[in-house]
Amino acid sequence: MSHPTDFTLTQAIQALHSGEISSRELTQAYLDRIELLEPDLNAFITLAAEGALAQADEADSKLIEFRKNGIENESPLLGIPIAIKDVLVVKGLRATAGSRILESFTPPYDATAVARLREAGVVILGKTNTDEFAMGSSTENSAYGVTHNPWDSSRVPGGSSGGSAAAVAARMAPVALGTDTGGSVRQPASFCGLTGLKPTYGRVSRYGLIAYGSSLDTVGVLGQNVADVALVYNSINGNDPRDATSTNQPRQEINLDGSATLQNVRLGIPEEYFGEGLQAEVESAVREAIRVFASMGAEIHPIQLPHTQYAVPVYYLIAPAEASANLARFDGLRYGPRIEGVDLRDTYRATRGHLFGHETKRRIMLGTYALSAGYQDAYYGKAQKVRALIQRDFESAFETVDLIAAPVAPTTAFEIGAHRGDPLAMYLEDVYTLPANLAGVPGIAFPVGFDSRGLPIGMQLLGEHFREQQLMNAVHNYQTVTDWHIKRPDL
């Protein structure tokens, strides 16, 4: 038998349901690996070993009963360990959002995505590291230390879901939940050699997500391959009356049975995503992957998304403005620690000044300025108008193509500290991922090669709203004829 942590999610499900391994044995194998690797990677903020083993025992009881009585198990995820990004609340586990201002907050309820996974019988291993309040592209902004990329510990794993990505890439968890506000699932997936899904905005409930940008935040999944990602997505998507932004679309069940081919699928290649600043090895790997899609029957069409150049400034007005409003609640009176001042104003100033990190304070100030009297129309209002133009770019493109293929990031994983002191350089890391969030369309990142340093290269496919099935079909076809997704770091 393979070592349990070598299993893909699909293989782990088969092993559990056949009785080849128990959920406790599988969970303990991941906990042992976390203990071995965690000091070097720092992928987790909070580990829930005792609770995880108790959940595993409960799952084993059900699995034994099902096998004994010949009952078909309707929940494929029963007994499967999973990691949760520490911006999604889990009842009884502290939720920090990577910030000191929430270091003692323990939520009394589960986020909807977490609750649905609990209903499916998963085992929660713990909460993964994140840039503070998901504000970052490298997981260097966490108050709980930097997460290291399993492929090269001197480099970042991407962000803000870097802890989730590092955990899955290092086989400390078979799958993990992340969030994608401006690329925070897709970019870490690219940097860590994983498959990462950003669903259509509103497809997965945001209830219980510690909000950054409310019109942009999306709960997503990171896994070793698209089949694994689809299994988790099937459990968490669907309407939620507790989330006003949740779509009314019925719950979607992705089926990757191989019947959907790439024959006559129109694949758009946006010229704006292949310009200055794109690492030559990244472009070469992405274009080779496009040739593979073409060899499988896809039709390749050059397209234009002319307002792409405005995505970075638009995002960095809208997202900080929403963050300014969302983070106003963290004042030391209701959540987390408090630094007492001489009066209420001084308490606010001391608590927020000392317990928010530099990047979070920078974005709060940017957002507050963009919303301030005399400037709101000039900045926030104009950004929303340009956002509408970016949305129309995608609507126009999808009149002539089915999917859009592009790089995920301009480069492979950069060195820790490379952009320290240069926030603009960090913001430009998101240039290819931000437009999908501004338009609300789904996207999926997946590995397509390695650079000369042995670092993973990812590409992304973007689709029309609610076309997750088509996106995952395309990646599934690609992963049946390539093996980039089965490569793993040598740890």
Q: For residue range 289-325, what is the model confidence (pLDDT) as tens digits?
A: 999 999 999 999 999 999 999 999 999 999 999 999 9
- Mean pLDDT, rounded, of the chain: 96
Alpha helices in 398-443 (DSSP H): 423-427, 434-439
Which range, of 64-78, 99-113, 172-186, averages the lowest pLDDT?
64-78
**Mean pLDDT, residues 141-165 taken together:** 98
Pick the CATH number of 4-264+470-486 from 3.90.1200.10, 3.90.1300.10, 2.30.42.10, 3.60.15.10: 3.90.1300.10
Q: How does residue 70 score in pLDDT terms, banded at 50, 70 and 90?
A: confident
pLDDT at residue 441 is higher than 70: yes
Q: Is 160 an active-site residue?
A: yes
- State mean pLDDT over 41-67: 97
Banded model confidence at residue 336, pLDDT cuts 50, 70, 90: confident
CA nearest neighbour of 437 among 179, 236, 88: 179
For the cut 80, the answer to whether the pLDDT of residue 1 exceeds it is no
Identify the pLDDT of residue 46: 98
Q: Per-residue pLDDT tens for 339-387?
A: 999 999 999 999 999 999 999 999 999 999 999 988 999 999 999 999 9
| Calpha distance 208→227 (Å, rounded) | 26
Q: Report CA-CA distances (Å) from 29 to 40, 53, 381, 410.
A: 18, 11, 52, 36
Q: What is the CA radius of gyration of the chain?
A: 21
Structure confidence by residue, pLDDT tens digits, 118-145: 999 999 999 999 999 999 999 999 999 9
Residue 2 has pLDDT above 90, yes or no: no
The active-site residue out of 184, 205, 235, 324 is 184
Give tens-digit pLDDT for 14-36.
999 999 999 999 999 999 999 99
Q: Considering the chain, what percentage of its residues have pLDDT values greater than 90?
A: 94
For residues 89 and 217, give the distance between their C-alpha atoms in angstroms, rounded to a whole number: 15
pLDDT digits (tens, 9 = 90+) for 401-422: 999 999 999 999 999 999 988 9
The active-site residue, picked from 22, 138, 142, 160, is 160
Identify whether 184 is a catalytic site residue. yes
**Choice among 85, 99, 161, 246 that is catalytic:** 85
Confidence of residue 97 (pLDDT cuts 50, 70, 90): very high
pLDDT of residue 138: 98
Q: What is the pLDDT of residues 242-265, one digit of tens each?
A: 999 999 998 999 999 999 999 999
Asked if residue 327 lies in contact with residue 342, where contact means CB atoms within 8 angstroms, the answer is no
What are the residue ranges spanned by the domains of the chain? 4-264+470-486
Q: CB pairs under 8 A, 24+ apart, for 9-15? A: 9/80, 9/174, 9/175, 9/223, 9/224, 9/227, 9/228, 9/231, 9/232, 10/227, 10/228, 10/231, 12/80, 12/174, 13/76, 13/77, 13/80, 13/231
